[in-house]
Amino acid sequence: MNSVYATQNSGESMISRLSALYELSGYSRYRMSKFEEYELYARNRDFLISDNIITFTDTDGKLMALKPDVTLSIVKNGRDEPGKVQKVYYNENVYRVFKGTRDFREITQVGVECIGDTDSYCLFEVLSLAAESLRTVSSGGILSISHLGILSGVMDACGIPENERPGVLRCVGEKNSHELARICRDCGADGDGLRAMLSLVSVTGSGASIPDEIKALSDGGVLGESVYQLEALLGALKRAGFADMIRVDFSVVNDIGYYNGVVFKGYVPGIPAGILSGGQYDRLMVKMNRSSRAVGFAVYLDELMYLGADSVAYDADVVLLYGCDCDPAAVRKKAEELSADGSRVLALRQLPEGLRYGKLVKMDGGT
């Protein structure tokens, strides 16, 4: 084993591998300021993962914020140009409070945005990049895909009133069939509609295809169009070699006020939470007075610290213990030899107490 390569999943190495992936697909780097006017986030609070924001007043008296999110800034600073598509990726630090804590953390977020006159190819390309991003992080990843048009269409077919829809979406997000069935029955849903609704939270799962109960309900309206769009996308992803990592999972329910159409979430083995999240967010564009369409995703690199935790069992793979009369150039040369296989070599004159290392190499004067 060589430790330097074994721990490449964390930090800058991962960022550069993901950046290379996006650049090779023609996405250009988008750079931005660390600050934005607070108003941008105040107006779109529900779009943010955490609504706690670090604010300060600038020298002009304007209330500013340290960025808790990147997408809003990219959307705000773009322009609508008919027929054009802007393809960008970013690698930025954002500042958020994590759920269950009261402390702000600075985290590095990498992501992709495709904004403008987007078509079905753009959607496929972004999902392909999401799947490739998971493969870059680790083998065996899973991309869970949902379609908010299907959720809305099934709710329409069941006659779920607007005031009950947040509760229904919460149940779908939790795969909570017992409460979902109660709400739907209270709303008068039964028969095919209820069966389709419950298929959204199926624990058995339907792999990479849309449940038959939903197809049976689809018509020429929103539901039918959404089923057609998702089936076409799934087919293209399977043909592109991603069949082993895609799942249809309607528990991916991003905020319906901002997102529409396809939404997705990515998981890799060994990390207890989703590390990638994205979707089509045309509704956010409308809220920000943009006429373009948009799709994108973010990779949460802070979650990657869970990966390969066992591989850093030592402070150094090799400790090179040199004597007082050793030639510094010879010590350096020996350290370089030892690190040729990727081992982390720590050269010291004395062995400190408590240091954890894999191998000890002693070097006497002149050798």
Partner 1 sequence: MEDMLNIALPKGRLGEKVYGMFESAGFPCPSVLESSRKLIFENPAAGVRYFWVKPSDVAIYVERGAADVGVAGKDILAEYEPDVYELLDLGLGRCRMAVAAKKGFRDDRLRTLRVATKFANTAKRYYASRGRDIDIIHLNGSIEIAPILGLSDVIVDIVETGTTLRENDLEVYEEIFPISARLIANKAGFMFKGDRISALFDGLSSQLTGII
Can you tell me which residue has the tokens 């350096």?
Answer: 332
Is residue 42 a contact point for partner 1 (CB under 8 A)?
Answer: no
**Alpha-carbon gap, residue 255 to 102, rounded angstroms:** 23
Is residue 41 a contact point for partner 1 (CB under 8 A)?
Answer: no
Q: Which of 128, 176, 206, 339 binds partner 1 (CB under 8 A)?
A: 176
User: Which CA distances in Å does 158 have to 152, 183, 224, 297?
Assistant: 10, 11, 15, 31
CB of 62 to partner 1, least distance (A): 32
Give the binding-site size for partner 1 (rule: CB under 8 A). Answer: 22
CB of 276 to partner 1, least distance (A): 12
- CB-based burial, 240-279: b 16+ in 10 Å, e otherwise: eebeebbbbbbbbbbbbebbbbbbbbbbbeebeebbbbbb
- Give the residue from 342, 301, 299 showing the smallest Cα distance to 318: 342
**Alpha-carbon gap, residue 283 to 96, rounded angstroms:** 23
Is residue 140 a contact point for partner 1 (CB under 8 A)?
Answer: yes
Minimum CB distance to partner 1 smaller for 203 or for 324: 203
What residues from 83 to 102 belong to the interface with partner 1 (CB under 8 A)? Answer: 99-100
Is residue 146 a contact point for partner 1 (CB under 8 A)?
Answer: no
Is residue 51 a contact point for partner 1 (CB under 8 A)?
Answer: no
Q: Which of 203, 324, 329, 340 binds partner 1 (CB under 8 A)?
A: 203
Q: Which of 135, 165, 175, 195 binds partner 1 (CB under 8 A)?
A: 175
Q: Using CB under 8 A, which of the segments 228-236, 264-272, 312-320, 358-366 binds partner 1?
A: 264-272
Contact footprint for partner 1 (CB under 8 A): 99-100, 140, 142, 144, 174-179, 203-205, 247, 251, 267, 269, 271-274
